[in-house]
């Protein structure tokens, strides 16, 4: 049996929450944004054509709602509210610091870049799907992800051309991030050796 | 949410800038970090209030949005005040 409009709406809620948090950077604001978007979707459900791309339709409603809210209240909420649970894992201390630095750096990205990066990396969207769900050209979608990634790398690893370290200032976290990258590089090399042999 | 290899990782658009080995390592680290930051949010239980809102609408049929904010411009266009025409969030460069 084909899922109904309401089934699809419930199924996509987790992804909407992630998108909302990526846009708002604030848990409470994200929950409000999801709820408002659901209300909008329910009100506008007759305009949805069954069989067409429901996720794209829904993500765009949420995005448009975010933009609409942003216009109403130009000053956004605090950016302190990175998911607390993210730091409650049993990662080593320096890993947690690096993760916190990543959260801080994500907060500093422009909303459209942050959203694009999360939807591609966390949701696994293709650039084409990202473009459809955010209402932009594929080239724009690629560019947003590329710029977000490059900016995070510069901030977190401090890979400026002149050798200066990143701007975030937490040297311990920067070291931790570098260490993690070095370990990931070794793991990738091991995998390459394994697959070659 | 499963942790898949970063198949959609961004690519260098400038062919004069060869992709470094460190880029792939950073991509991997970034992917893991973002999953740690956002996966828990996706896994949290959906608030009952929100589920009830949807279920009430399902049982009552469409047109339950009397108290809901006016519909935003949908994917196919439409307008709501000045927000039509595919606006972008602020802060983009």
Q: Does this model's pTM top 0.90?
A: no
Residue A107 has pLDDT above 60, yes or no: yes
Contact list in A for residue B90 (CB cut-off 8 A) is 70, 110-111
pLDDT in tens, B57-86: 998 865 444 333 334 444 443 333 333 333
Residue A139's CB: how many other CB atoms inside 10 A? 11
Residue A21 has pLDDT above 70, yes or no: yes
- Structure-token pair, residue B26: 């950073």
* Helix residue ranges, H only, A45-137: 54-72, 93-108, 111-121, 127-134
- ipTM above 0.85 for this complex: no
The answer to whether A47 contacts B55, with C-beta atoms less than 8 Å apart, is no
Residue B5's CB: how many other CB atoms inside 10 A? 10
- On the CB side of A182, CA atoms within 13 Å amount to 8
Among A92-96, A192-196, B47-51, B81-85, the range scoring the smallest mean pLDDT is B81-85
Separation in Å, CA of B58 to nearest CA in chain A: 6
The answer to whether A10 contacts B11, with C-beta atoms less than 8 Å apart, is no
Separation in Å, CA of B78 to nearest CA in chain A: 10
Contact list in A for residue B75 (CB cut-off 8 A) is 53, 56-57, 60-61, 135
Number of H helices, E strands in chain B: 2, 0
């Amino acid at each position: 049996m084909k899922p109904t409009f309401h089934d699809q709406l419930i199924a996509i809620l987790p992804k909407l929450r992630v998108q909302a948090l990526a846009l708002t950077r604030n848990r409470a604001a994200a929950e409000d944004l999801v709820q408002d978007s659901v209300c909008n979707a329910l009100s506008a459900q007759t305009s949805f054509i069954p069989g067409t791309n429901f996720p794209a339709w829904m993500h765009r409603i949420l995005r448009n709602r975010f933009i609409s809210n942003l216009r109403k209240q130009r000053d956004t909420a605090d950016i302190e509210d990175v998911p607390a649970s993210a730091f409650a894992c049993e990662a080593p201390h320096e890993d947690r610091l690096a993760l916190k630095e990543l959260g801080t750096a994500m907060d500093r990205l422009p909303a459209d870049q942050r959203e694009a990066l999360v939807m591609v990396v966390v949701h696994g969207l293709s650039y084409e799907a990202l473009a459809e769900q955010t209402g932009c050209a594929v080239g724009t979608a690629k560019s947003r992800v590329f710029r977000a990634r490059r900016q995070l790398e510069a901030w977190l690893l401090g890979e400026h051309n002149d050798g200066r370290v990143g701007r975030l200032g937490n040297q311990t976290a920067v070291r931790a991030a570098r260490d993690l990258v070095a370990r990931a590089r070794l793991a990738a090399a091991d995998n390459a050796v394994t697959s070659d042999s | 949410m499963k942790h898949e290899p970063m198949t959609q990782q961004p690519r260098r658009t400038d062919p004069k800038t060869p992709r470094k080995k460190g880029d792939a390592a950073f991509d991997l680290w970034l992917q893991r970090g973002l999953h740690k930051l956002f996966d828990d949010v996706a896994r949290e239980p959906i608030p009952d209030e929100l589920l009830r809102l949807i279920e009430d609408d399902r049982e009552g049929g469409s047109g339950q949005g009397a108290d809901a904010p006016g519909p935003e411009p949908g994917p196919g266009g439409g307008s709501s005040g000045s927000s039509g025409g595919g606006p972008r969030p602020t802060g983009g460069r």
